[in-house]
Amino acid sequence: MAIAEIDFYFYSGTGNTLLVVEEMQRVFSSHGIQVFLHEMTDTDPGKIDTGKTIGLAFPVAFQSTFPFIWKFLKNLPRAQGASVFMIDTMMTFSGAIVGPLKKVLTSKGYNCIGASEVIMPNNWFPKTIHDEVNKEKINTGMKKARKFAEELMEGTASWGRVPLLSDGLYHLCCNNFVMQRISLAEGRKITCDEGKCRKCGLCARLCPVHNITMKEYPQWHDSCETCMRCLSFCPTNAVFIPGKKKYELYRAVKAERLFSKDQGKEKESE
């Protein structure tokens, strides 16, 4: 089946996934395919149009992806053969997303036409930032994203599944106990240095789960999923984790690129 229009739903933590999505959009657009971008955090998954080809993009987290993204994916409507593809970005490997997601979508009646995973620079408390290494990873990642887009158009993309391994890893990584332990270990310790904070509220605006509220200074609550946005995009490096050993902060784009734009218009190729 030829692809005519794509509704591309994505979430990007520190910009890696956004780079991949925009690169794929350029390839599709250059072949006359309309692509409309929609941020997952601004979308009701139950109301998406299953009459179009659907793209899904997000970062890998804890060998799978964030709970709020899984919530979005599991609340997609039932479909009658709607074509869907996925692409994720990761530091090294996943194991608990490609297969389990195919299982969920197939059970809802979707036609899973392709899945790809792209290695991008590490944003998980890197001890050092190697600009040249990261640049090479991004270039390689963009090449893989372009190839995947071309395979989707040619009908040669695939979406594999290893049931026992991927399902087992999914249940190991994505249960509530593990998620809560991760939140306790890192997310609930995040705070700000009031001496550095300029009260801009960017951290609260960027939080995908509304875990930060602005009073005089930002305050963190108990639903952090450690997406790294508040840490990585603070303009004065005021957001930090007390007692955390030395780490650098990575971001692939400027913060304003993560905010919703006019998604009703097709973005033109650059």
Q: Average pLDDT of the chain?
A: 88
In the chain, which segments carry CATH 3.40.50.360? Answer: 5-169
Q: What is the mean pLDDT of residues 215-220?
A: 94
DSSP code, position 45: G
Between helices 98-107 and 163-173, what is the axis angle to 10°? 100
In the structure encoding, which two tokens stand for residue 135, read together?
């640049």
Element (H, E) at 192: strand 191-192
Cα–Cα distance for residue pair 22/146, rounded to 1 Å: 10
For 148-160, the pLDDT digits (tens) are 999 999 999 999 7
Cα–Cα distance for residue pair 260/209, rounded to 1 Å: 15
In the chain, which segments carry CATH 3.30.70.20? Answer: 187-253
Cα–Cα distance for residue pair 255/237, rounded to 1 Å: 14
Main-chain phi, psi angles of 106, to 5 degrees? -60, -40
Pairing between strand 212-214 and 191-192?
unpaired
Sequence-ordered list of residues with C-beta below 8 angstroms from that of 102, at least 6 positions apart, any chain: 112, 115, 159, 161
pLDDT at 180: 60
Cα–Cα distance for residue pair 263/185, rounded to 1 Å: 36
* 107 neighbors 136 (Cβ within 8 angstroms): no
3-state secondary structure of 205: helix
Sequence-ordered list of residues with C-beta below 8 angstroms from that of 96, at least 6 positions apart, any chain: 63, 64, 166, 169, 170, 172, 173, 174
With a pLDDT cut of 90, the percent of the chain lying above it is: 72
Residue 1 pLDDT greater than 60, yes or no: no
Sequence-ordered list of residues with C-beta below 8 angstroms from that of 234, at least 6 positions apart, any chain: 192, 202, 203
Cα–Cα distance for residue pair 234/226, rounded to 1 Å: 15
CA dihedral 156, 9, 63, 140 (to 10 degrees): 60
Beta bridge partners of 239: 192
pLDDT at 270: 34
Residue of 171, 58, 68 lying closest to 120 (CA atoms): 58
Cα–Cα distance for residue pair 250/121, rounded to 1 Å: 8
Measured CA to CA in angstroms, residue 245 lies from 3, 149, 225, 265 at distances of 48, 40, 20, 44
- Alpha-carbon Rg of the chain, whole angstroms? 18
Cα–Cα distance for residue pair 136/141, rounded to 1 Å: 8
CATH class of 5-169: alpha beta
Residue 136 pLDDT greater than 90, yes or no: yes
In the structure encoding, which two tokens stand for residue 7, read together?
């509704």
For 28-87, the pLDDT digits (tens) are 999 999 999 999 999 999 999 999 999 999 999 888 899 899 999 999 999 999 999 999
* Architecture of the domain defined by 187-253: 2-Layer Sandwich (3.30)
Confidence of residue 134 (pLDDT cuts 50, 70, 90): very high
| Chain position carrying tokens 């310790």 | 189
For 163-211, the pLDDT digits (tens) are 655 666 555 566 565 666 565 556 678 999 999 999 999 999 999 999 9
pLDDT at 96: 83
